[in-house]
Structure 1
Amino acid sequence: MSKFIMLLLCMNAIYGLSFAQKKYELKGKVIDENNQALAGTYVMLYPIEKGSVVDKTGSFLIKDVEEGTYKIEISFIGYQTVTDSISIPEDQPYNAALKKSFLNLQEIVVTDNYAERRKREESLNTEIVNERYLRQNLGGSLMKSLERLPGVTTIDIGSGQSKPVIRGLAFNRVVVAENGIKHEAQQWGADHGLEMDQFAISDVEIIKGPASILYGSDAIGGVINIKHRKLPADNSIAGTVNLSGKTNNDYLGTSVSLFGRRKWFFADFRVTLLDYGDYKVPADSVDIYSYRAAIHKNHLRNTAGGEKNLHFSFGIVKTAFQSRFYLSNVSSKSGFFANAHGLEPRNVDTNLHDKSARDINYPYQQVNHFKLINRSRYQWDKVSLETDLGFQRNFRQEWSKYVSHGYMPAIFPGTLNFDPDLERQFEKFVYSGNVRLSYHANEKTHFIIGASGDLQDNKIGGRGFIIPAYKQWSFGSYAFSKHTFSEKSIIQMGIRYDHGTIHTNEYSDWFTSPVIINTDTTFHYLKRAGNISRSFSNFSWSVGYNYNQERWSFKTNVGKSFRIPIAKELAANGVNYHNFSYEVGNPDLSPETSWQFDAGVEFNAPKFAVETTPFLNYFPNYIFLNPSSEHDRLYGNGNQVFYYTQSKVLRLGAEIHAHYEILNALQLGVIGEFVYSEQLSGEKKGFTLPFSPPASAIFNIKYKKPKMYFLENPYLTVDFRITAAQKNIVPPEKTTNGYHVINIGLGGDVKLQNQKVNISLQVQNLTNNKYFNHTSYYRLINVPEPGRNIIANISIPFSGKMNKK
């Protein structure tokens, strides 16, 4: 690996230095419709990402630019972004006049002209948020911070483990991509959260709906596209210090970053430390099936945890070449709710667990995720070549005290090569690569051809079994084109071919079980999983169209996607402790296919904006866990048995997002979502799918001003979330009552002498309401959602200039 890194560094440095050329400068002015200077406007040149800020006279100057053709982007909040193509050297100053834009729905999510332009050009429905939004909506995990967005929910277990859900689809149906590489871990597990440091994230793009053409077969439900900080300014050094705290679980966190750039070389470093205790719920006991378990001082015992995260990136940037390395190591340790793990609430040592709310006892999990990514871009006039190379290692261990079940020996044998308390272990190595060739035939037509592939090697260990060790290969190639008929009309088309192979290893119990044939009883090591080798391939395609008028925007997208079955669906045979079930795979499953229709209508006026995004999906062979009447007493701890099966499924729904500006400083808004699904065949025909999210809406009041007393950019928001009861269930699910929650947010920027400090405060579940989330696994054992939580985040940025000598 070290030789591979050194080779890439040498190649990049040699290639970059070969492009040394004479330097030029670009200057100009930016004004508004009344010929007034627009101080503070950003002027950026791409692909080198070199920029300037317009001064109070309206002038800008970008130095040290090499000869070539660039895209210039001029943006200012509240004005329409100007993009153009220019050639360097430029004989005349570049002058631009910006026009005011209408009130825009992105303003309630993120104030960013890029977000507005991206939404108008993308035929799939897209949400984009930035670092400021994440700080203002800080949750226990990245996905909890994004849960306020329309169409985005989570499947939760505990305070820090959340899986992304887009329009009711989750797990391997949603791709999480970081810096161009698909994040790969144990995403099949409900208790396996995203190994992501939300403090290290700059922007998040959420694509709702099938995005398989560019992101591969797992994007059948959508994409969470995570991006890190953009390039720093020339000869600059800067950083941030983030301090955060939460009252519900006595959370304390700090994240410190330092970044800088010296002409063509730049680097970025961050360290994050988090520590939290058991979280509190508005209840003094929980009903775990037929047993009522008391909880001490409202603390859900043994849900404490902590994280230690390191991030480092560096690279070079030249006119025709850019290359950047990203290295991260995310390490966490967190406890499982002691009364729920293994469903033995009577045997929990309450004196041990209730001694401290911050200790972590059995059962708990330790996770380490290492990631190395290289992104490079080569530019030749109208052609660009982009490459992404990635390596990941996900190492996860689950620990609990050895207790024999069924035919397991009462005393663990000393001859085995693993710790008796190691319940499960997963070690996954992933090698990924992407290549994209883009060709801008002219200002109206853009072509992309590309290919992507990965190799996954997942090993297992420990005394428990749920999925076998496996290897998986996948490869896909695609072609995509975008044509702009006019400023109003854009069409996009794409086609992709994917091929995947998966091989699972045979697995037998480490202990013997009696097998009775006629009247003879013999003892055997029972086989839980056999060798399975399956190959899958299929085509995906999509056609999208956007029509944008001055105030109206229309979009539509139709297409077909498919998804390869994962190892758990094919070969599971064990207890899922966090879903309280015994799960059995089906080696004969077909790949999942989906036919989809997405649409969007948006209207923007000076004081009012509204958007609605309906969708329709049809799955001829949707894969899901089907509950049976069986209970496995010998190997499954008495849990109900679920079998993976397939059926025809229809899904439809919509989101709505609107707000009205009553006064210049006061907005009213609403964010709503609805998903309906129905099985059209099989044993559960006529029923919905498990863990289907109920309809919900957020009614929002937002007050913001440029300045108030000593506060700059102050804001106050009140969210009143109403969630309907979920009575549309599939047996053995139980219905969930509706609920309402009030959340408050406030903050702004404070200047202490010359130092700017950003302060964000939240009060979640203001009334300490006791309610149950239908998409939480703890709902199955009657554990309510966390009680009142006051969250504070302080961000202190600092910056300076390097000596050019």
Structure 2
Amino acid sequence: MKPMLQGMLVCLSLWPLAAAGQAPCVNRVKLTIVEVHDFTPVHPALIYIEELRRSWETSESGAVSLDSLCNGTYTVHIHGSGYEDKIEKITVNGNASIRLKAAFREHHLQDVTVNEEAAGAIIQSKENLNQTAVRRLAGESLSSMLEHINGVTTLGTGGTIGKPVIHGLHSNRVAMLNNGIRQEDQQWGGEHAPNIDPFLAGQVSVIKGAAGVRYGTDAMGGVVLVEPPPLRAVPGWSGELNLAGFSNNRMGAASLMVDHNLPKIPALSFRLQGSIRKGGNYRIPGYWAANTGLEEQNYAAAVAWRRLHYGAELSYSHFGTALGIYRGSHTGSEADLMAAITSPVPLVPAGFSYKIERPRQQVSHDLVKLKLYADNRQGMWQLVYGVQKNFRQEYDVQRIENDKAQLNLTLITQTLNLNLRHKPIGRLSGEVGLDGTWQDNRFRDGDRLFIPTYRAYGAAAYAIERFKLGQSLVEAGIRYDLKRYNVINFEGSNQQMEEYRYGFGNLSATAGIRRSWKPDGQWAFTVAHAWRTPQANELFSAGLHHGAARIELGNKSLKPEKALGANFDISNR
């Protein structure tokens, strides 16, 4: 009996020490569940804690309050409709507020066609050729496709070279964007066709009127947007084969495009594409036009990593063409030119041939584009970098044939755009951005001089805001551009090297209103101010313009060109 009593006394004496070592379960913890990117509350969501074997539902603020918790580590399970299930470990050592993040679960749904324009689209007059229309016109040049849009015509040189004319303006007064990158090639010549493969296009759009605020200087007549179809978003393969034939010049065209989305990595997609065109001399009533054939070989690749709130895209495209210039258009004097124009028959007789001889042009254009995007509480951020290399060779008529081109021009352009499409502030939505451009133009030693060596630098900032008021949408935008030229030119009888520096800066602005009425009608009125700097060929050209077969001289005293335009558009879909 005595030993048992002694043991009980020992236990009773140790119990206060054990109680003192065990912390009381009085901790209060506030758990808040937010979306991983924009930190919006996750509600409703189920919170389950393994150690407590209890569950809670979040409030509208995404929070739950946990009372009477002991110190220690707890396993928290998060389950929310539309969110990825998540397990987190938390450590409790006193009162605390803890924030946990949940990510949306990605779902692949069936395709849905939306006829309304995106909120970021400017309200100027815009017409499209959708993918069905583009495929129906497969094999035609880009300029020929654009002729199917109301108000767009073509400035053509023979049967193979053409460029779009919008509101009577073309070349450096119409901006062209290829896959979101402003196309920079030797576009100053009327016989310099856009170096873009139309088989790459999923949609071709034309914005009519001055649109310099969003698309930069030179967009005085309008803008042409060539946009590829989106990469495949559903696991599996898809492909497209296009074949076309033309009777006039016996031209054949073919294009193959393959898309794939990886089943095990659904965020990753890629595309491969290639196309060819080959045609011979064009037929005119009763005759063949000498040396009017063409050859074209193009290829492209693209890869994308896309998540719900961020992603990246990388693409590359190559355009290569050889174009014959009608032999009868290259004359040595004004009298010869008039004789060629007034002659009832071609002065250079020819039959049908696929052979391309002098005079001819050979052009290659390479484009690399990197796009990064992500959204957060401010809105959708987008960073786009592009680098282009345009190489143009022009072969004049010579008495002794050789393989040497008389003009070799290399134009390298790098562009960078940072854009933020901010989240709506009440009824106000819009975007702000920065643009940067670096350009280097060179000709090969020993070539005949026409366009000098130069470097150009550009920078711009812009803002476009839209205000929704009932059935009306009001838009206003402003942009400021700076552009600099550093030019090296060889002048005088002794071809002495001269250096020139030019600097230009100006504002572009736009304002407009669009109003809808039921069921599908709308009207829009816009007014815009745009400007463009003199181009290097306008300032410094000196010599034979190959495709036009004429001598051109630049004017170093040219000033920036300005335009003010107004457009009223009414439609009923």
Quick check: TM above 0.5?
A: yes
Question: 1:65 and 1:199 mapped to 2: Cα distance?
Answer: 38
User: In the alignment, which residue of structure 2 is the partner of 1:531?
Assistant: 499
1:472-507 Cα deviation digits (max 9, x unpaired): 111111111111112x11111111110000122112
Question: 1:361 and 1:560 mapped to 2: Cα distance?
Answer: 45
User: In the alignment, which residue of structure 1 is the partner of 2:423?
Assistant: 440
Task: For residue 335 of structure 1, report the CA deviation from its aligned partner.
Answer: 1.1
Question: 2:167 and 2:554 mapped to 1: Cα distance?
Answer: 25
The amino acid of 2:151's aligned partner reads: G
How has the CA–CA distance of structure 1 residues 333 and 147 changed in structure 2, closer, same or farther, with 3 Å as cutoff? same
Matched, 1:481 2:465: yes
Question: 2:428 and 2:404 mapped to 1: Cα distance?
Answer: 60
How has the CA–CA distance of structure 1 residues 343 and 239 changed in structure 2, closer, same or farther, with 3 Å as cutoff? farther
User: In the alignment, which residue of structure 2 is the partner of 1:311?
Assistant: 300
Secondary structure of the structure 2 residue equivalent to 1:362: coil
Q: Which of 273, 280, 283 in structure 2 is aligned with 1:280? A: 283
Question: 1:376 and 1:383 mapped to 2: Cα distance?
Answer: 14
How has the CA–CA distance of structure 1 residues 119 and 376 changed in structure 2, closer, same or farther, with 3 Å as cutoff? closer
Structure 2 counterparts to residues 280-679 of structure 1, below 5 A: 280-282=283-285, 284=286, 298-343=287-332, 354=350, 357-381=353-377, 383-402=379-398, 421-442=404-425, 444-461=427-444, 463-486=447-470, 488-508=471-491, 524-525=493-494, 530-551=498-519, 552-603=521-572
Task: For residue 343 of structure 1, report the CA deviation from its aligned partner.
Answer: 4.6
Q: Which consecutive unaligned segments of at least 5 residues does structure 2 have?
A: 1-35, 43-80, 86-102, 341-345
Secondary structure of the structure 2 residue equivalent to 1:467: coil
State the TM-score, normalized to the length of structure 2.
0.75
CA contact (8 A) 1:158 1:336 kept: yes
Question: 1:175 and 1:221 mapped to 2: Cα distance?
Answer: 8
Aligned residue pair count:
462
Q: Which consecutive unaligned segments of at least 5 residues does structure 1 have?
A: 1-17, 25-63, 69-86, 99-111, 285-297, 404-410, 413-418, 510-523, 605-805
1:28-85 Cα deviation digits (max 9, x unpaired): xxxxxxxxxxxxxxxxxxxxxxxxxxxxxxxxxxxx97569xxxxxxxxxxxxxxxxx
Question: 1:363 and 1:581 mapped to 2: Cα distance?
Answer: 14
Task: For residue 576 of structure 1, report the CA deviation from its aligned partner.
Answer: 2.4
Question: 1:550 and 1:133 mapped to 2: Cα distance?
Answer: 27
The amino acid of 1:480's aligned partner reads: I
Question: 2:203 and 2:82 mapped to 1: Cα distance?
Answer: 27
Task: For residue 129 of structure 1, report the CA deviation from its aligned partner.
Answer: 1.4
User: In the alignment, which residue of structure 2 is the partner of 1:235?
Assistant: 235
The amino acid of 1:220's aligned partner reads: M
Question: 1:212 and 1:303 mapped to 2: Cα distance?
Answer: 36
Percent identical pairs in the alignment equals: 25
Matched, 1:269 2:272: yes
Task: For residue 422 of structure 1, report the CA deviation from its aligned partner.
Answer: 2.0
Q: Which has the larger radius of gyration?
A: 2
CA contact (8 A) 1:134 1:146 kept: no
1:334-367 Cα deviation digits (max 9, x unpaired): 211112124587999x999846511111221111
1:8-39 Cα deviation digits (max 9, x unpaired): xxxxxxxxxx99xxxx9xxxxxxxxxxxxxxx
The amino acid of 1:391's aligned partner reads: V
User: In the alignment, which residue of structure 1 is the partner of 2:66?
Assistant: none
User: In the alignment, which residue of structure 2 is the partner of 1:164?
Assistant: 164
1:528-558 Cα deviation digits (max 9, x unpaired): x943211000111111111111143121112
Question: 1:579 and 1:366 mapped to 2: Cα distance?
Answer: 16
CA contact (8 A) 1:267 1:315 kept: yes
Secondary structure of the structure 1 residue equivalent to 2:218: helix
1:635-664 Cα deviation digits (max 9, x unpaired): xxxxxxxxxxxxxxxxxxxxxxxxxxxxxx
Question: 1:399 and 1:362 mapped to 2: Cα distance?
Answer: 6
CA contact (8 A) 2:388 2:412 kept: yes
CA contact (8 A) 1:420 1:463 kept: no
How has the CA–CA distance of structure 1 residues 570 and 154 changed in structure 2, closer, same or farther, with 3 Å as cutoff? same
TM-align CA RMSD:
3.2
Question: 1:65 and 1:343 mapped to 2: Cα distance?
Answer: 74
The amino acid of 1:559's aligned partner reads: A
State the TM-score, normalized to the length of structure 1.
0.54
